[in-house]
Amino acid sequence: MAGHSQFKNIMHRKGAQDKKRAKIFAKLIREVTVAAKTGLPDPDANPRLRSAIAAARTANMPKDNIERAIKKVAGGDESESFEEIRYEGYGPGGIAVIVEALTDNRNRTASEVRSAFSKHGGNLGETGAVSFMFDHVGQIHYPPETGSSDDVFEAALEAGADDVESTDEGHDIFCQPDEFHAVREALEPNLGEPSSAVLEWRPQNSVEVGDKEAETLLKLLDALEDNDDVQRVSANFDIPEDVMERMSA
Determine the pLDDT at residue 7. 37
Determine the pLDDT at residue 2. 55
Domains in the chain and their CATH numbers?
A: 14-74 (1.10.10.200), 83-132+204-244 (3.30.70.980), 135-203 (3.30.70.980)
Angle, helices 14-38 vs 63-74, to 10°: value is: 30
d(C-alpha 11, C-alpha 199), whole Å: 26
In the chain, the percentage of residues whose pLDDT exceeds 70 is: 91
pLDDT, mean over the chain = 88
d(C-alpha 235, C-alpha 3), whole Å: 6
Mean pLDDT to the nearest integer, 134-159: 95
Determine the pLDDT at residue 10. 34
Determine the pLDDT at residue 233. 95
Q: Is the pLDDT assigned to residue 8 strictly greater than 60? A: no
- Hey, which residues does 232 pair with through a beta bridge? 100
Determine the pLDDT at residue 17. 55
Determine the pLDDT at residue 15. 46
Determine the pLDDT at residue 51. 85
Determine the pLDDT at residue 12. 35
Strands of the sheet containing 134-142, edge to edge, are 163-167, 170-175, 134-142, 196-203
Please give the residue that has the higher pLDDT: either 39 or 138.
138
Entry pTM: 0.83
Q: Yes or no: say if 158 and 190 are a contact pair by the CB < 8 Å rule.
A: yes
Residues 6+ apart with CB under 8 A from 248: none
Mean pLDDT to the nearest integer, 164-182: 93
Checking 19-26 for CB contacts under 8 A at 24+ apart, the result is 21/59, 23/226, 23/228, 24/59, 25/56, 25/59, 25/61, 25/65, 26/228
In the chain, the percentage of residues whose pLDDT exceeds 90 is: 63
